[in-house]
Amino acid sequence: MKVSDVLAKSISLNSRVLPSFVELDKAVGRILHRWPDAVKEPEDRDRERLAQEMRRRIETWDWGGLKTSRVASAAVAVFDEERREREDLADVREFYYEELRQSSQTSFLTSMLWVYVGSFDPKSEATASLGAVLRHRRDDFDERARRLISALPDLLDPASAVTNLASVMYESDDPFGKLKSLGIRAPHGPGLTRHAHVEFVRKIGPHLKRADEREQLLRWLVPQGGNALEAGAGLAVEALLRVWVNETPSDAVRSDLSEAIISAYNDPRTHSGGIWSGFDPDLRAVLLRWLTKEDMLFFCDMVTATQGSHMWPLRRDFWLRLYEDGRIDEAWVAFGRDALHYAKRRLSRSDTTNLNRRFGRQLDRGGSTSLLIMRIGNKIVVDGCHNYRTHIFNRDDPKAPKLYGSQYYCDDIMRYSRNAKSHSSIPVWRDWVMRHV
């Protein structure tokens, strides 16, 4: 007999609720109290099988050998995004609703609350139905779940739950830690927290010029000791950049933000996937401009710290002025071995991203020479430390070095170049550069 047929009869289902698992419930309760993450969601590859197993058991009314934990795992599958509106599983959903009305098993009731949180979608009929049934059982969950509902009074109202949770996040200096303290085991997980993330970013977005709000959002994106947020992270990174579209941040803010972003989500110049695949191109251009200056400053600081040439400050000021005038479109640094040690020391102090992902390597001359590779319009310009000449290529020249490579050979660049100039006379060199770019 199908569960829908049973429900159509004017008889109580009290006699056909799930069998009692009193001892199992006690054991599950002890485990959840000591190890909150002990109950895991089923793997994606197992979900359809679990959903169909529950469908078969309901149709045949066969509960032999079934454990409470498996019923909860099947619920995760039945109410997930792929299955929660499927017509062939309608009887299975109705079964869960009826069990929630009838069951006295705390572990089952609480598990279904977490299914609601993890599968939450404010536009879903299944979410609305599940929330309505759970509201009538709000006093019957375990202690941790009751604390969560106390902190989020609108949790079981799909129309208000997102705003309620986003407000709690916005009011906390550490949103990730706050959600963990409320009992949400996976704050970056799907469902309610993912929708709250969108609302949280909307609320905090206009205030991200302020240091406290930036740190608050970054603590949410990259929690201490945890992994960076993946789903929805692009929205947050766009918000971090959007406030600077019409204003240039200080060098310190620009440096901290750009390094934090590429440390968590890779450099968009060398990675096209992840958050960068659908990123707003105008905001991506803001970050690329920041990274251009960051690389130029890094190269200049390295040369300043490791060389004593009286000509270098004049060359440095020339390149930075060209950048400020909007002439330098892109820049990339290839460090030699000697400069690499300097870079490692500086990067380790600032706790920034992996060095091998952040810069290229220059391998000729025993690593004594480092390169600054720039695109200025349709030209590729290569400058180097020590006495390395400045070389200018047409961008479409097949011998021109490509930006964002992992390895470079400065002697090959020198051999391929048809247009080069030494720095022996800075005014002459400067005029030569301006004529050729």
pLDDT, tens digit, 9 for 90 and up, residues 302-358: 888 877 667 888 999 999 999 999 999 999 999 988 787 777 776 654 445 566 678
**What's the average model confidence in pLDDT over 26-39?**
45
User: Which residues have C-beta within 8 Å of that of residue 320, sequence separation ≥ 6?
Assistant: 296, 297, 300
What residues make up the domain containing 145? 1-155
Give phi and psi for 9, each to the nearest 5.
-80, 150
pLDDT of residue 9: 41
Higher pLDDT, 32 or 209: 209
For the chain, the domain total comes to 3
pLDDT of residue 254: 93
Same domain, yes or no: 11 and 138: yes
Q: Tell me, yes or no, whether 272 lies in a domain.
A: no
Q: What is the pTM of this model?
A: 0.84
pLDDT of residue 187: 96
Q: ∠ CA(247), CA(248), CA(249), 5° rounding?
A: 115
Same domain, yes or no: 233 and 372: no
Q: Tell me, yes or no, whether 178 lies in a domain.
A: yes
Last residue of a domain, one of 117, 134, 155: 155
pLDDT of residue 298: 87
**What's the average model confidence in pLDDT over 383-400?**
94
**What's the average model confidence in pLDDT over 249-260?**
92
pLDDT of residue 354: 62
Higher pLDDT, 40 or 392: 392
Same domain, yes or no: 32 and 73: yes
**What's the average model confidence in pLDDT over 405-427?**
94
Last residue of a domain, one of 126, 155, 184: 155
Q: For the chain, give the secondary structure using H, E and C.
A: CCHHHHHHCCCCCHHHCCCCCHHHHHHHHHHHHHCCCCCCCCCHHHHHHHHHHHHHHHHHCCCCCCCHHHHHHHHHHHCCCCCCCCHHHHHHHHHHHHHHHHCCCHHHHHHHHHHHHHHCCCCCHHHHHHHHHHHCCCCCCCHHHHHHHHHCCCCCCCCCHHHHHHHHHHCCCCHHHHHHHCCCCCCCCCCHHHHHHHHHHHHHHHHCCCHHHHHHHHHHHCCCCCCCCCCCHHHHHHHHHHCCCCCCCCHHHHHHHHHHHHHHHCCCCCCCCHHHHHCCHHHHHHHHHHHHHHHHHHHHHHHHHHCCCCCHHHHHHHHHHHHHCCCCCEEEEEECHHHHHHHHHHHHHHCCCCHHHHCEEECCHHHCCCEEEEEECCEEEEEECCCCCEEEEECCCCCCCCCCCCEECHHHHHHHCCCEECCCCHHHHHHHHHHHC
Higher pLDDT, 32 or 401: 401
Q: What percent of the chain has pLDDT over 90?
A: 72
Same domain, yes or no: 6 and 149: yes
Last residue of a domain, one of 155, 178, 196: 155
Same domain, yes or no: 6 and 116: yes
Same domain, yes or no: 149 and 164: no
Give the pLDDT band (50/70/90) at residue 118: very high
pLDDT of residue 188: 97
Res. 35: pLDDT tops 70 = no
Best mean pLDDT range from 60-69, 90-99, 362-371: 90-99
pLDDT of residue 308: 65
The Cα 167–Cα 6 span in angstroms is 43
